[in-house]
Each structure stands twice: as structure tokens, then as C-alpha cells.
């Protein structure tokens, strides 16, 4: 069965821009922000509490639809990865304000959505939960209350697809295009050999559909994430259990450290994935197309400074060094602290911005040579 959604003939980037939920912006997104959005939703979006965090914060879920295809979506498993949460909120905002789209989609799909799985980590802006545990490495043992809440939902809802939403650091890029990996995806492995069974192939086909749509807006900036197997990782464990699981990774876009542009591409990816699932017979012949997506590499820095003159033991020479932002929570906002992270050996790396030091002498704390950790004005 095929069903094509049309919304005033606007393209998906226009829709993502129009329905961006402006009350939530920037990198710091917490359960309080989420609650303010949930209050705007009508009763057709069923809000429930599916568990509690280590610090007893409620873990909220949204359910709607009555269709045959069941999709489970969760975001902010890592508390400091909020871009996909924003894109997910924007997509829900779009459905809220487009009744025909909502009703048509609800006939085809049943959704179970957990926008912030790790509310303690979101509040503290940490990857881990309040016990210092990375929830994305707790899938097999399932020791944490947040992990148990997700596992319970998985086993009771028994989804046809899982969308596992994350952010990735600005260090990820694509060697072939020499561009940042603005969005990346993965059909998680189910065994050490990384064999593609029917479960992985179903997820790969959807990623192929997502990639086709995103190439219209961010050509050569879509990556394929590494598929090394780790049974402790959520995607790998769920795929091993027979649930097609797609990893979404929101990365860097030019000058968008707040990631309020990248959230639009998350919106597009979600919309494209859901449309592809409903409009196509999912078959394995899309596997080669999936494997042709450029693979992610750790090949970028935020800044590379070149032509930097230094004086090291009375020897002058010109060098390069790389600077990476360190994200620090100050009050209710994130500050970006630029630190030197690599000196020399940068020939195989790219930069989001290259700064020519024009042969000026390096000066920092009464020395004329750099050290790892120096704070640099950019």
C-alpha cells in the first residue's frame, strides 16, 4: 500500500523551518523544556510516564496512531546530545498543526516516542546518567532505571522499527567530500561478523531512503557510521534481538554550533524515514546503495591555525595546531571554550575554519610555544 503526503507543496526544508519550535533553541535542552512543549499538544497525543531516572525525574513518552507499522523512537539517551530532540519536537509540532497529515499518518503508523530518555544527564549536560553510566553501553546488562524503562517499552510495544537518536561531535567528516558529516546513520550490527541479515537490511533500506532526501539539501554531507559490533550498545543489542534499529547522528553544519540549522535536517530525516517505510516494500536490493554512503571518519577539527611562529628552546619555526571547542554548562547555557587539542601532524585533517596566524609569534602565559589545553582566542 502506498500513501503520499502532500502539505501545500512545500519542500521538507521549508516545512522544517516553518514548524521549528522556537521556544526551544540552543544546545541545552532539559525535561523542563520538553514539558513546556508537551503542554501545547492536544489530547490525541497521549502523554505518559514510562519510568523514573536515578534522581526520580519522570521519563515522559508520547503515543499516537493506530496503524499497522509500529515505530519506537527515543532521543537524548546521552544527556548532552539534544539536537535530535529538537528535530523530533519540530516534527511533532508539524503533525500537531497539520490535521490531515496527522490523521493520514495515524492510520498507517503507531508511534511510541521518548523524547528525553536521560533527564538527569540532560539537566547536568553530561553524556552519562546520574550514576555515571553511559546508557548506550548498558543495553545488555540493563542495570539503570532509564535502561529498564526503555527495555520495558521495547518488549511491550514490540516495534517494527526503532529510531535511536543521537548527536555526534564536530570531529566527524567525510574524506571523499572533505565536508562535515552533518547527518549520519547506521543499521546496527547483530553479530561480530557484521553480517547483513534481513533485520539489518530492512533498516539499511530506510537509510537509503533518508539519504536520497537529505542529498537534496546537504549534498555529500551524509555519512554512514561505523558498524563495529558491541552487544552492550543499544542498537546492536536490539538488532540482535530482531528489531530493525536505525541510528541517527546529528553532526556539524557550517557555523551552526547551536545546531538550530542541523535540527532541520533531523526533521527531514525523520519525515523521510517514516514516508519511506509507508510508501515502499522494504527489500534487500537497497543494500548496495546503503553501503555506497560515505563512511564517517574522525578527520575534522573546529579550527586549524597555520603559519604560527614559535620559539622553542631558542629555535624559531612555523607550525600548525588544532583547536577544539570544549562545551561547558554555565547556568542554563552552554559556553564554548576553544582549547588546543593537537600540535602538528595535521596534514590528514580538515578544519571547519582555518585561521592564518600570518607568521606572528605565539604568546601564552609568558611563553612562545603552545601546549595542549591552552585557551585560544578565535
Cell triple for 96: 500537531
When pLDDT is averaged across residues 240-250 and rounded to a whole number, the result is 98
* pLDDT beyond 60 at 4: no
7 has a pLDDT exceeding 50: no
Write down the pLDDT at residue 280. 75
Sheet holding 350-356, edge to edge: 333-343, 315-330, 300-312, 350-356
Mean pLDDT, residues 224-241 taken together:
97
What is the band of 283 on the pLDDT scale with cuts at 50, 70, 90?
A: low
For the chain, what is the largest distance between any 2 Cα atoms, rounded to a whole number of angstroms? 75
CB 210, CB 249: distance < 8 Å: no
Residue range 315-341: average pLDDT? 97
Model confidence at 351: pLDDT above 70: yes
**Residue 145 in this model has a pLDDT that exceeds 50:** yes
Span of 7-16, 276-285, 292-301 with lowest mean pLDDT:
276-285
**Cell numbers linked to 226:** 561505523
* CA–CA distance, 73 with 79 (Å, rounded to integer): 16
Confidence of residue 140 (pLDDT cuts 50, 70, 90): very high
Please state, as a whole number, how many other Cβ atoms lie within 10 Å of the Cβ of residue 216.
12
CB 198 within 8 A of CB 205: no
**Per residue in 110-141, is it b (16+ CB within 10 Å) or e — as a string?**
bbbbbbbbbbbbbbbbbbbbbeebbbbebbee
Over the stretch 180-193, which tens digit does the pLDDT of each residue have? 999 999 999 999 99
pTM for this predicted structure: 0.95
pLDDT digits (tens, 9 = 90+) for 253-272: 999 999 999 999 999 999 99
Q: Which CATH number is associated with domain 12-298? A: 3.40.630.10
What is the C-alpha separation between 85 and 78, in angstroms, rounded?
Answer: 11
The model's pLDDT over 16-66, given as tens digits with 9 standing for 90+, comes to 999 999 999 999 999 999 999 999 999 999 999 999 999 999 999 999 999
Q: What is the share, in percent, of the chain residues with pLDDT greater than 70?
A: 96
- pLDDT tens track for 191-219: 999 999 999 999 999 999 999 999 999 99
Domain locations in the chain? 12-298, 300-356
Tell me the average pLDDT of the chain: 95
Q: Which residues pair with 62 in a beta bridge?
A: 47, 113
- Can you name the residues that pair with 77 across neighbouring β-strands? none
Q: Sorting pLDDT into bands at 50, 70 and 90, what band is 279?
A: confident
pLDDT in tens, 113-130: 999 999 999 999 999 999
HEC readout, the chain: CCCCCCCCCCCHHHHHHHCCCCCCCCCCCCHHHHHHHHCCCCCCCEEEEEEECCCCCEEEEEEECCCCEEEEEECCCCCCCCHHHHHHHHHHHHHHCCHHHHHHHHHHEEEEEECCCCHHHHHHCCCCCCCCCCHHHCCCCCCCHHHHHHHHHHHHHCCCEEEEEEECCCCEEECCCCEECCEEEEECCCCCCCCCCHHHHHHHHHHHHHHHHHCCCCCCCEEECCCCCCCCCHHHHHHHCCCCEEEEEECCCCCCCCCCCHHHHHHHHHHHHHHHHHHCCCCHHHHHHHHCCCECEECEEEEEEEEEEEEECCEEEEEEEEEEEEEEEECCEEEEEEEEEEECCCCCCEEEEEEECCCCECCECCECCCCCCCECCC
Place 1 in a pLDDT band, splitting at 50, 70 and 90.
Answer: very low
Amino acid at each position: 500500500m502506498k500513501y503520499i503526503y502532500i502539505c501545500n507543496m512545500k519542500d521538507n526544508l521549508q516545512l522544517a523551518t516553518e514548524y521549528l519550535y522556537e521556544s526551544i533553541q540552543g544546545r541545552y535542552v532539559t525535561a523542563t523544556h520538553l514539558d513546556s512543549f508537551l503542554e501545547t499538544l492536544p489530547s490525541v497525543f497521549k502523554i505518559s510516564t514510562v519510568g523514573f531516572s536515578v534522581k526520580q525525574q519522570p521519563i515522559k513518552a508520547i503515543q499516537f496512531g493506530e496503524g499497522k507499522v509500529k515505530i519506537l523512537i527515543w532521543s537524548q539517551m546521552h544527556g548532552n546530545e539534544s539536537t535530535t530532540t529538537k528535530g523530533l519536537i519540530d516534527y511533532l509540532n508539524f503533525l500537531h498543526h497539520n490535521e490531515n497529515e496527522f490523521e493520514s499518518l495515524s492510520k498507517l503508523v503507531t508511534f511510541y516516542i521518548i523524547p528525553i530518555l536521560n533527564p538527569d544527564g540532560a539537566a547536568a549536560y553530561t553524556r552519562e546518567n546520574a550514576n555515571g553510566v553511559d546508557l548506550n553501553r548498558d543495553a545488555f546488562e540493563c542495570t539503570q532505571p532509564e535502561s529498564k524503562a526503555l527495555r520495558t517499552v521495547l518488549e511491550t510495544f514490540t516495534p517494527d522499527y526503532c529510531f535511536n537518536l543521537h548527536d555526534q561531535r564536530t570531529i566527524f567528516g567525510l574524506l571523499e567530500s572533505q565536508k562535515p558529516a552533518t547527518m549520519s546513520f547506521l543499521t546496527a550490527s547483530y553479530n561480530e561478523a557484521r553480517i547483513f541479515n534481513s533485520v539489518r537490511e530492512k533498516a539499511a533500506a530506510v537509510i537509503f531512503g533518508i539519504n536520497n532526501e537529505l542529498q537534496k539539501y546537504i549534498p555529500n554531507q551524509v555519512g554512514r557510521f561505523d558498524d563495529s559490533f558491541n552487544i552492550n550498545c543499544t542498537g546492536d543489542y536490539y538488532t540482535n534481538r530482531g528489531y530493525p534499529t536505525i541510528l541517527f547522528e546529528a553532526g556539524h553544519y557550517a557555523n551552526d554550533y547551536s545546531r538550530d540549522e542541523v535540527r532541520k535536517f533531523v526533521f527531514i530525516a525523520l519525515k523521510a524515514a517514516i514516508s519511506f517505510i509507508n510508501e515502499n516494500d522494504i527489500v534487500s536490493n537497497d543494500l548496495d546503495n546503503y553501503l555506497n554512503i560515505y563512511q564517517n571518519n574522525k578527520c575534522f577539527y573546529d579550527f586549524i591555525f597555520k603559519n604560527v611562529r614559535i620559539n622553542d628552546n631558542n629555535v624559531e619555526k612555523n607550525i600548525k595546531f588544532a583547536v577544539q571547542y570544549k562545551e561547558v554548562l554555565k547556568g542554563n547555557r552552554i559556553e564554548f571554550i576553544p582549547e588546543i587539542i593537537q600540535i602538528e601532524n595535521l596534514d590528514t585533517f580538515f578544519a571547519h575554519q582555518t585561521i592564518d596566524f600570518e607568521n606572528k609569534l605565539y604568546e601564552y602565559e609568558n611563553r612562545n610555544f603552545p601546549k595542549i589545553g591552552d585557551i585560544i582566542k578565535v
